[in-house]
Amino acid sequence: MNGKIYANELFEKLLDTCELKILEVILQENVDEEEKIKKLLEMKPHV
């Protein structure tokens, strides 16, 4: 589950692109919360 969303097709129907991108970052493994927040903020202007 290294950033991959299980049942991706279901989530694609239920969430918009921004939400999916956020979820992908949050589901990344072996990445601490600070790093995730950093990544989320970095992609913020595009989201």
- Which backbone phi and psi does 8 adopt, to 5 degrees? -55, -40
- Binding of other proteins by 24 (CB under 8 A): no
- Cα–Cα distances (Å) from 24 to 3, 18, 21, 32, 42, in that order, read 5, 10, 5, 14, 14
Q: Cα 33 to chain center, whole Å?
A: 12
Task: Report in angstroms how near the CB of residue 42 gets to other proteins at its nearest.
Answer: 10
Task: Report in angstroms how near the CB of residue 8 gets to other proteins at its nearest.
Answer: 8
Binding site for other proteins (CB under 8 A): 1-2, 4, 6-7, 9-10, 13-15, 18-19, 22-23, 26-27, 33-34, 36-37, 40-41, 44
